[in-house]
Amino acid sequence: MSKLIIGIDISMNDFYACIKVRTEDNSIKIKGTRSFENTDQGFENFLSWSLKQKKDDEWSVRFVMEATGVYYENLAYYLHSQNQKVSVVLANKIKNYIKSLNVKTKTDKVDAKTIASFGIERELENWEPMSPMYKTLRDLCRELLSLKKEKQRAQSQLHALEKAHQKLHTVIKLKREQIAFLEKAIDVIRKDIKATVKKDPILENRIKKLETIPGLGYETVVILVCETNGFTLFKNIRQVVSYAGIDITHNESGMFKGKTRISKRGNSRIRQALYMPSLSACRANEPIKELYERIHDRNPDTKRKGIVAGMRKLLTLSYVLWKKDEEYNSHYQWSNSATHNLSQRKAEPESSALDRHKPINRFIPSLVQS
């Protein structure tokens, strides 16, 4: 079957598109290159131009673009609404692919051709938009995290001003007013988050079940759920951990043994949301406390390793309990057969109106024993 790929390099005001086709004899040809405005009318003109290049109804057509900030979203949503196959690729993957081709020229037109070549060579997954309510919660939670950072920064500045020599009371007054404004804005966002969650009773009930995990609070659970789109994008725990950027990277070659670190190549908001709960869990959650102490005994000079391990364990617990729709049980022990025998899955929980896919249970490692 012939494969028609439209590579798209998008920016704020316009985007370049390149159409490449791979025929049944594996020959690759460029069918056309053109730029369009990043507007609704530009989207319509682009789709019409792209589909004209389809010579046979049996041709497989796919639109490929990189995740460039938020500029790609309107086009991706439009193409998805028109029942087109869309793939959104992380920017670092495209960057590394371009390096592998030793492409020295950097223009929007060249990037569109390279993205089309990437789509020709790879079998890409279909992009699916977030549930509208999850997207609303994600935007609210991201604003909440931003406001908390601003408040913490303002409080540190106020502390410095109050302790400084020859205090300027006008600046101190303005800084206190700024902090009061941020506190009021945080309260407004929190109320909106709770009101949004209450609109879906099933979602609210499942969030309450995750709150039973010692160390996790309401806001943290909501952030985990909305940032992962209800964990619908993942098939196993490794994918969730990698998405959060707390997967382990090794740096070794021959006799050289470098430091082992977490990759931090993932959703930084999940890591930000899990850090303080991990500190709490290392004191209040017995299995995680034992894990933290064991790691700290082996690495007395690096306490953060134990905290990061607690973050990973909290994320793992959240993923499994969400998929199984269960509350936390500190005395539950996973048997080896339950870990590997996928035929013994429990019935899937009732789906929320938010979930675009039914939850699935895959590989489930020990949650109590490290």
Q: What is d(CA 64, CA 117) in angstroms, rounded to the nearest whole number? A: 10
The torsion defined by the Cα of 114, 118, 120 and 125, in degrees rounded to 10, comes to -140
In the predicted model, is pLDDT for residue 357 greater than 50?
A: no
State residue 259's pLDDT score: 83
Q: b/e per residue, 110-122, with b = 16+ CB within 10 A?
A: bbbbbbbbbbbee
Structure tokens at 44: 């319509």
Helix (H, G, I), strand (E, B) or coil at 361: coil
d(CA 277, CA 317): 13
What crossing angle do the helices spanning 169-198 and 201-210 adopt, rounded to 10°? 120
- Whole-number Cα distances in Å, 215 to 44, 205, 283, 310, 342: 49, 18, 9, 10, 29
Residue 53: pLDDT band (50, 70, 90) is confident
Would the pLDDT of 365 be above 70?
A: no
Task: Band the pLDDT of 80: cuts 50, 70, 90.
Answer: very high
56/151: higher pLDDT: 151
Confidence of residue 341 (pLDDT cuts 50, 70, 90): very low
Q: Report the range of poorest mean pLDDT among 24-38, 63-77, 314-328, 332-346.
A: 332-346
State pLDDT tens for residues 167-187: 889 999 999 999 999 999 999
Average pLDDT over the chain, rounded to an integer? 86
The CATH number that domain 3-121 falls under is 3.30.420.40
pLDDT higher than 50, residue 345: no
Distance from C-alpha of 214 to C-alpha of 88, rounded to nearest angstrom: 36
pLDDT at 223: 96
69: alpha, beta or left, given left = phi > 0 and alpha = psi -120 to 50?
left
**Predicted pLDDT of residue 1:** 66
**195 vs 184: CA distance, rounded Å:** 17
Round to whole Å and give the CA distance between 370 and 316: 12
